[in-house]
Amino acid sequence: MRTTHTFATVSMDTDVTIQVVADQPRAVVEPAVQRALSWFETVERICTRFDRSSEVMRLLDQVGASVRISTLLFEVAAFALDLAEQTEGAFDPTVGARLEQLGFNLNYKTGEAIHSDDVGADSVSFRDVKLDRRAHTVRLRKPLILDLNAVAKGLAIDLAATELQSYAGVCVEAGGDLVVKGQNPTGEPWHIGIQHPRAEGMLAHTLDLTDTAVCTSGDYERRVGEGSGEGHIVDPRTHRSVTDLASVTVVAPTAMAADGLSTAAMVLGREQGLHFLASQGVGALLIAPDGTTLKVNL
Partner 1 sequence: MAAHRMHRGLVALSASAVAAIYLAGYLQTQVADSNIGAAAIPTLAAAQSAPVAAAPAATSSPPLQPVIQRPTQAPAKAAPTPTPGAATSSAQSQAAAAYKDGTYTGQGTSRRGDVWVSILVQAGKIANVTITRSTLQYPLRDIATLPSQVVQRQSARVDVVSRATYSSMAFQGAVAQALAAAKAA
Site for partner 1 in 166-185 (CB under 8 A): 168, 171, 173, 175-178, 180, 182-185
Is 193 a binding residue for partner 1 by CB under 8 A? The answer is: yes
Of 129, 158, 274, 286, the one binding partner 1 (CB under 8 A) is 158
Query: Of the listed pieces 49-57, 116-124, 134-142, 219-227, which binds partner 1 according to CB under 8 A?
Result: 219-227
Using CB under 8 A as the binding rule, whether residue 132 contacts partner 1 is answered as no
Question: Does 292 engage in binding with partner 1 (CB under 8 A)?
Answer: no
What DSSP letter does each residue of 50-67 carry, written as one string?
Answer: S-TTSHHHHGGGGTTSEE
Among 24, 54, 82, 89, binds partner 1 (CB under 8 A): 82
Contact 33, 5 (CB under 8 A): yes
**Does 188 contact partner 1 by CB under 8 A?**
yes
Measured from the Cβ of residue 8, the count of other Cβ atoms closer than 10 Å reads 11
- Taking CB under 8 A as the rule, does residue 216 contact partner 1? yes
Cβ count within 10 A of residue 238:
9
Could you give the angle at the alpha carbon of 71 between the alpha carbons of 120 and 86, nearest 5°?
60
CA 117 from chain centre, in angstroms, equals 26
Within positions 11 to 70, which residues make up the interface with partner 1, using CB under 8 A? 15, 17, 19, 21, 26, 30, 33-35, 37-39, 41-42, 70
Which CB, 132 or 200, lies closer to partner 1? 200
Q: CA angle, 276 as apex, 270 and 281 as ends, to 5°? A: 125
